[in-house]
Amino acid sequence: MNSIAAHMISNLTSCARFPGQLNVDIGEVTTNLVPFPKVHFVMSSISPLYTLSDVAAAARTKNIDQTFSSAFSKDNQLCTGNPLQSKYLACALLVRGGIQLSDVNRNISRMMGQLDMVHWNQEGFKVGLCSVPPVKHPYSVLCLSNNCCVRSTFRKMEQRFRTLYDKRRAFVHHYTQYVEESHFSESLEIIRAIQDDYSQLQSAGTLHSISDESEISATQQRQGQYTPRSIYAPVI
């Protein structure tokens, strides 16, 4: 697990460390991935997905198109979820190695028919190209997506918390020495609110609690007029 997490972080920061024909920094990525302040939880996936100890795994990805397809697959996500069955708010593709911009554009066009993008951000892709490949493979793709399927992660988190807290108050005494017990209920409400926000976006494509003036259109994002009010929060 540590090797996979290190692989993800290495790909995330590659554009800042190595040359490339289309380098981006993390600030640019977060600007494009966070359309509303409250929904800043980003899922990550890597293709090919392998550890440095598994030398043969990298060779199983045969071509560039397969690499891009795998990056959107549920099997390559670093947390449980299937983004192809939920709505995309935005997406970033950070590519390393011998992949040209034309390859990226072709695969984005190819995948668009499978992705359910919100109506106000139909072209919500940010692309970064780094010329230096990862270790033991000629190229790789890191896909960062703000997708509504992340709400299932918070649902499971809530269920596990309630199993311990509601019935047994297990381990609570370790925390009440330092914080009020009411903080547990407040944190639970925050988790529920996050689920509600993503559920609204999944069903309606926007947040009912956001005013019309603050809704972000696809045109604003393409013209670089949007400034996010949140931080990047990856889920791995």
The SS3 of residue 63 is coil
95 within 8 A of 131, measured Cβ to Cβ? no
Does the active-site annotation cover 28? yes
Closest CA to 139 of 46, 54, 72: 46
Q: What is the DSSP string of 124-177?
A: -EEEEEESSPPTTSSEEEEEEEEEGGGHHHHHHHHHHHHHHHTTT-TTGGGTTT
Q: Which of 28, 123, 181, 215 is catalytic?
A: 28
d(CA 59, CA 27): 32
Cis (ω within 30 of 0) for the bond into 228?
Answer: no
In 10 A of CB 56, how many CB atoms?
A: 8
The SS3 of residue 197 is helix
54 within 8 A of 83, measured Cβ to Cβ? no
With a CB cutoff of 8 Å and minimum separation 6, the contacts of 179 are: none
In 10 A of CB 193, how many CB atoms?
A: 13
Antiparallel, parallel or unpaired: β 125-130 and 87-97: parallel
Supply the residues annotated as catalytic. 28
